[in-house]
C-alpha cells in the first residue's frame, strides 16, 4: 500500500488532484485510517491514475471520465472527443492565419497549408446567379428558407459555410453556384433546400485578404502549388467567406479562405 504522498509521486498527480478525484468518486483510496485519516492506495490504482491523467489531457470532463472508467461507451467517447478536437483544431488554425495577416499589415503573403475538414452535415441551395452581386441574396434567402422548414435548426460552432462554383470554367454571368452551411443535423428538405453529408475532406487551404476582384491571384498561386508538389485535386474548390461586406467596411479587410480538395 502506498501513502498519498508516495502515490502522488508515482502517478505524477498532485495531492490536491488526488483529493479532488476522491471527492468525485473516480479514484478512491483503497484504505483510509480511521484514527489518522491517512489515505493509502494500491499499486494497481496507478493504472487508473494514468488513464485519468491521459483523459484529462484530452479535455475529458469528470462525467465523461466516470463513463469511460465504468467501461460504458468507451469507443463512442473517444470517437466523439476526436471529432471535437478536430473542430477545435480547425478553429484555432483559422485564428492563427488571421493573426498572420494582421502581422503582415495587409501585405499579400500567401501561405498554403494542408488540413482536414471534419465530416459534417450541410444544408445547401443551388442557383444560377446572373452575377456575383446576387451571392448575398442566395446566402440570406437560403438561410431563411431552411429555417422556415426547420425552425430552431442550429449551425455548427465554429461556423463553416462556403460556396462552390460548378460550371467548370470562370464566368461573370449565369454562374451555377451552390451555397452550403454546416448544421448540427439533417432536416426537412424541399425543391430548394437539400441536406448533404460531407465526409472528412483533406484540402489545400489558402487565405486571401482584400477584394474579390483579385481572388484570381490566390487561385493561381494555390493551383501552381498543387501542381509543383504533385497533389491531385479531388473535387470542386470551396470559397469560405470569413470577413466581408457584412462586417468590414474596408474592402482591404475582407478575408476569404479557398479550399481545394485533394486526395
Number of compact structural domains in the chain: 3
Question: Counting every residue, how long is the chain?
Answer: 263
Q: What is the distance between the alpha carbons of residues 17 and 62, in angstroms, rounded to a whole number?
A: 12
39-41, strands of its sheet edge to edge:
2-3, 39-41, 31-32
pLDDT at 158: 86
pLDDT tens for residues 16-38? 999 999 999 999 999 998 888 89
Cell of 68: 469511460
pLDDT at 100: 63
pLDDT at 72: 82
Looking at the structure, tell me whether residues 93 and 188 fall in a common domain.
no
pLDDT tens for residues 129-168? 999 889 889 999 999 999 999 999 999 988 899 999 999 8
pTM of the model: 0.58
Give the relative orientation of helices 4-11 and 15-24 as an angle to the nearest 10 degrees. Answer: 100
> Domain range spanning residue 220?
82-119+199-263
Looking at the structure, tell me whether residues 189 and 152 fall in a common domain.
yes
- C-alpha angle 48-65-11 in degrees, rounded to nearest 5: 30
Helix (H) or strand (E) holding 81: helix 74-103
In this model, does residue 109 exceed pLDDT 70? no
In this model, does residue 246 exceed pLDDT 80? no
Q: What percent of the chain has pLDDT over 90?
A: 59
CB-based contacts of 2, cutoff 8 Å, min separation 6 = 10, 40, 41, 42, 43
**Phi, psi angle pair for 174, to nearest 5°:** 50, 60
Q: Is residue 137 part of a domain?
A: yes
CA atoms within 13 A on the CB side of 247: 6
Q: Is residue 77 part of a domain?
A: no
> Which long-range contacts link 140-147 to residues 24+ away (Cβ below 8 Å)?
142/179, 142/181, 142/192, 142/193, 143/181, 145/190, 145/192, 145/193, 146/181, 146/183, 146/187, 146/193
In this model, does residue 256 exceed pLDDT 50? yes
Peptide linkage before 158 cis (omega within 30 of 0): yes
CATH value at residue 52:
1.10.1660.10
Q: Is residue 42 part of a domain?
A: yes
- Dihedral angle sign, alpha carbons of residues 85, 88, 94, 98: negative
Question: What confidence category does residue 238 fall into, taking pLDDT thresholds of 50, 70 and 90?
Answer: very high
Q: Is 94 buried (19+), middle (13-18) or exposed (0-12) by CB count in 10 A?
A: buried
Chain-centre distance of CA 94, in angstroms? 9
Looking at the structure, tell me whether residues 156 and 244 fall in a common domain.
no
Q: What is the distance between the alpha carbons of residues 102 and 119, in angstroms, rounded to a whole number?
A: 30
pLDDT at 6: 92
Question: What confidence category does residue 102 fall into, taking pLDDT thresholds of 50, 70 and 90?
Answer: low
pLDDT tens for residues 175-192? 999 999 999 999 999 999
Looking at the structure, tell me whether residues 190 and 204 fall in a common domain.
no
pLDDT tens for residues 69-94? 998 889 999 999 898 888 888 778 76
pLDDT at 101: 52
Helix (H) or strand (E) holding 54: helix 45-57
Decide if 90 contacts 158 (C-beta within 8 A): yes
Q: Which residue has the higher pLDDT, 144 or 209?
A: 144
pLDDT at 65: 93
pLDDT at 216: 85
pLDDT at 105: 47
In this model, does residue 96 exceed pLDDT 80? no
Looking at the structure, tell me whether residues 210 and 227 fall in a common domain.
yes
Looking at the structure, tell me whether residues 109 and 137 fall in a common domain.
no
| Coil, strand or helix at 209 | strand
Q: Is residue 246 part of a domain?
A: yes
| Coil, strand or helix at 42 | coil
In this model, does residue 104 exceed pLDDT 60? no
pLDDT at 192: 97
Amino acid at each position: 500500500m502506498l501513502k498519498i504522498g508516495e502515490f502522488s509521486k508515482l502517478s505524477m498527480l498532485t495531492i490536491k488532484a488526488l483529493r479532488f478525484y476522491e471527492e468525485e468518486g473516480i479514484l478512491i483510496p483503497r484504505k483510509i485510517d480511521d484514527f489518522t485519516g491517512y489515505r493509502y492506495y494500491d499499486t494497481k490504482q496507478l493504472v487508473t491514475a494514468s488513464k485519468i491523467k491521459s483523459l484529462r489531457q484530452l479535455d475529458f470532463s469528470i462525467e465523461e471520465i466516470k463513463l469511460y472508467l465504468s467501461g460504458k461507451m468507451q469507443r463512442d467517447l473517444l470517437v466523439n472527443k476526436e471529432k471535437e478536437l478536430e473542430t477545435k483544431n480547425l478553429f484555432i488554425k483559422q485564428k492563427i492565419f488571421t493573426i498572420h495577416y494582421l502581422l503582415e499589415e495587409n501585405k499579400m503573403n500567401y501561405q498554403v497549408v494542408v488540413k482536414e475538414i471534419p465530416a459534417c452535415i450541410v444544408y445547401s441551395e443551388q442557383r444560377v446567379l446572373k452575377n456575383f452581386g446576387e451571392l448575398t441574396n442566395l446566402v440570406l434567402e437560403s438561410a431563411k428558407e431552411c429555417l422556415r422548414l426547420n425552425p430552431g435548426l442550429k449551425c455548427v460552432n465554429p461556423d463553416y459555410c462556403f460556396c462552390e462554383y460548378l460550371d467548370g470554367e470562370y464566368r461573370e454571368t449565369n454562374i451555377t453556384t451552390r451555397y452550403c452551411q454546416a448544421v448540427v443535423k439533417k432536416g426537412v428538405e424541399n425543391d430548394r433546400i437539400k441536406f448533404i453529408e460531407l465526409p472528412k475532406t483533406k484540402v489545400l487551404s489558402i487565405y486571401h485578404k482584400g477584394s474579390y476582384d483579385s481572388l484570381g491571384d490566390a487561385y493561381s498561386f494555390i493551383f501552381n502549388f498543387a501542381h509543383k508538389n504533385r497533389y491531385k485535386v479531388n473535387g470542386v474548390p470551396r470559397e469560405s467567406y470569413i470577413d466581408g461586406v457584412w462586417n468590414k467596411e474596408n474592402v482591404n479587410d475582407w478575408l476569404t479562405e479557398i479550399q481545394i480538395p485533394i486526395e
